[in-house]
Structure 1
Amino acid sequence: MKKKLFSLLTALVLCLFCALPAFAEMPLVMDTYELFKPEATAELEQKAQDASAGHGVNVYLLTVADIGGQNVREFAKDWYRDYDLGYGEGKSGILFLIALDSRDYVTITYGGGVTAFTDYRIAQIEDKIVPMLSDGTYYKASDTYIEMCADTLDFYADKGAPLDSGNDPAKGWIKWVFVFVIPLAVASIVCGIFYAQMKTANEQTHANAYMPAEGLALSVVEDTYTHTTETERYDPVKDDNSSSSSGSSTDSDGFGGSSGGKF
Structure 2
Amino acid sequence: MKKRVWIFALAAVLCVWLAVPALAATSLVRDEYGVYDGETLAQLEHCAQTSAQQYGCDIYWLTVADIGGSSRRDFAEDYYLENGLGQGLRKSGILFLIALESRDYVTITYGGGITAFTDYRVEQMEDAIVPMLSDGDYIGAAQTYLELCDKTLAFYAQKGEPWDRENDPTQLGKRLLFKIAIVVLLPLLIAGTVCFLFYRQMKTAVQKTEADDYVSENGLVLTQQQDYFTHTTETREYDPPRSSSEGSSTDERGFGGSSGGKF
- What interval of TM-score do these two structures reach, taking the shorter chain for normalisation? 0.7 to 0.9
Partner SS state of residue 94, structure 1: strand
Between the aligned partners of 1:247 and 1:93, the Cα distance in structure 2 is 16
Contact 1:166 1:240 in 2 (8 A): no
Q: Does 1:122 find its partner at 2:117?
A: no
Q: What does residue range 56-71 of structure 1 map to in structure 2 within 5 Å?
A: 56-71=56-71
TM-score (norm 1): 0.73
Judged with a 3 Å threshold, the aligned counterparts in structure 2 of structure 1 residues 50 and 220 are, in CA distance, closer, same or farther, namely same
Q: Cα RMSD between the aligned structures?
A: 3.9
Partner SS state of residue 55, structure 2: coil
Number of the residue aligned with 2:262: 262
Between the aligned partners of 2:38 and 2:249, the Cα distance in structure 1 is 36
Shift of 1:211: 8.3
Number of the residue aligned with 2:229: 227
Query: Which has the larger displacement, 166-175 or 135-144?
Result: 166-175
Number of the residue aligned with 1:105: 105
Number of the residue aligned with 1:48: 48
Q: What does residue range 78-89 of structure 1 map to in structure 2 within 5 Å?
A: 78-89=78-89
Between the aligned partners of 1:185 and 1:139, the Cα distance in structure 2 is 47
Q: What does residue range 147-166 of structure 1 map to in structure 2 within 5 Å?
A: 147-166=147-166
Shift of 1:58: 0.5
Q: What does residue range 1-263 of structure 1 map to in structure 2 within 5 Å?
A: 23=23, 25-181=25-181, 184=185, 212=207, 214=209, 224=226, 226-227=228-229, 230-234=232-236, 236=238, 239-241=241-243, 244-263=244-263
Judged with a 3 Å threshold, the aligned counterparts in structure 2 of structure 1 residues 164 and 235 are, in CA distance, closer, same or farther, namely farther
Shift of 1:223: 5.3
Q: Deviations over 1:209-260 (max 9, x none)?
A: x98364996998665563365454537576353xx32222222222111121
Work out the percentage of aligned pairs sharing the same amino acid. Answer: 48
Query: Which has the larger displacement, 130-139 or 175-184?
Result: 175-184
Partner SS state of residue 121, structure 2: helix
Between the aligned partners of 1:158 and 1:235, the Cα distance in structure 2 is 38
Between the aligned partners of 1:107 and 1:60, the Cα distance in structure 2 is 10
Q: Deviations over 1:127-151 (max 9, x none)?
A: 2211221122222221111111111
Which amino acid in the other structure matches residue 148 of structure 1? L
Which amino acid in the other structure matches residue 120 of structure 2? Y
Judged with a 3 Å threshold, the aligned counterparts in structure 2 of structure 1 residues 73 and 145 are, in CA distance, closer, same or farther, namely same
Between the aligned partners of 1:175 and 1:236, the Cα distance in structure 2 is 28
Contact 1:28 1:49 in 2 (8 A): yes
Contact 1:26 1:83 in 2 (8 A): no
Extract unaligned runs of 5+ from structure 1.
203-209
Shift of 1:126: 1.1
Which amino acid in the other structure matches residue 45 of structure 2? E
What is the total number of aligned residue pairs between the two structures? 239
Partner SS state of residue 70, structure 1: coil
Query: Which has the larger displacement, 232-241 or 115-124?
Result: 232-241
Number of the residue aligned with 2:218: none
Shift of 1:37: 2.5
Between the aligned partners of 1:134 and 1:24, the Cα distance in structure 2 is 28
Q: Deviations over 1:35-65 (max 9, x none)?
A: 1232222222122122222221101101111
Between the aligned partners of 2:210 and 2:33, the Cα distance in structure 1 is 91
Shift of 1:88: 1.6
Shift of 1:95: 0.3
Between the aligned partners of 1:225 and 1:78, the Cα distance in structure 2 is 72
Which amino acid in the other structure matches residue 246 of structure 1? E
Partner SS state of residue 133, structure 1: helix
Extract unaligned runs of 5+ from structure 2.
216-220
